[in-house]
Amino acid sequence: MKNRPIISFVGLTHLGLNYLAAASKKNFQIYGFDTNKLKVKNLNNGIIEYDEPGLKTLIKKNEKKIFFTDDFKKLKKSKLVFISKDVSTDKGNNSDLKSLKKLINFTIKFIGKKTKLIILSQSRPGFVRSIKYDHNNLYHQVETLVFGNAINRAVKPERFIIGVKDESKKIDSDYLKYLRTFKCPIFKMNYESAEITKISINLILASTITTSNILSELCEANKANWRDVIPAIKLDKRIGKFSYINPGLGISGGNIERDIVTTIKLTKNKTPSNILLKSLIQNSRYMKDWVYRIIKKNRLLNLDKKNSIGIIGATYKENTNSMKNSPFLELVKKINKLNKIFVFEPKIKINFKKRNVIQINNLNEFFSKNKVIVFLRPFGNIKIFEPYLRIIKNKIVIDPYGVLKEKSIIKEIKKYYTLGTI
CA-based R_g, the chain, Å: 24
Q: What is the pLDDT of residue 408?
A: 67
Cα separation, 192 vs 400, in Å, equals 38
Within 10 Å of residue 125's Cβ, how many Cβ atoms? Answer: 17
How much is the pTM?
0.84
| Residue 383 one-letter amino acid | K
Within this chain, domains 7-190 and 291-422 share the same CATH topology: yes
Order of strands, sheet of 7-10, starting from the edge strand that comes earlier in the sequence: 66-69, 30-33, 7-10, 80-83, 116-119, 138-141, 160-164, 186-190
Instruction: State how far the alpha carbon of 175 is from the alpha carbons of 116, 180, 231, 343, in Å.
Output: 8, 9, 41, 47
Pick the CATH number of 291-422 from 3.60.21.10, 3.40.630.10, 3.90.330.10, 3.40.50.720: 3.40.50.720
Under CATH, domain 7-190 is a member of which superfamily?
NAD(P)-binding Rossmann-like Domain (3.40.50.720)
Q: Where are the domains of the chain?
A: 7-190, 291-422
Within 10 Å of residue 332's Cβ, how many Cβ atoms? Answer: 22
Within 10 Å of residue 411's Cβ, how many Cβ atoms? Answer: 9
- Chunked into runs of 10 residues, the chain (422 residues) has average pLDDT values of 81 95 92 96 93 92 95 95 89 82 96 95 94 97 88 94 95 95 96 94 90 92 92 93 87 76 78 78 89 88 72 85 83 82 85 76 89 88 83 88 79 87 76
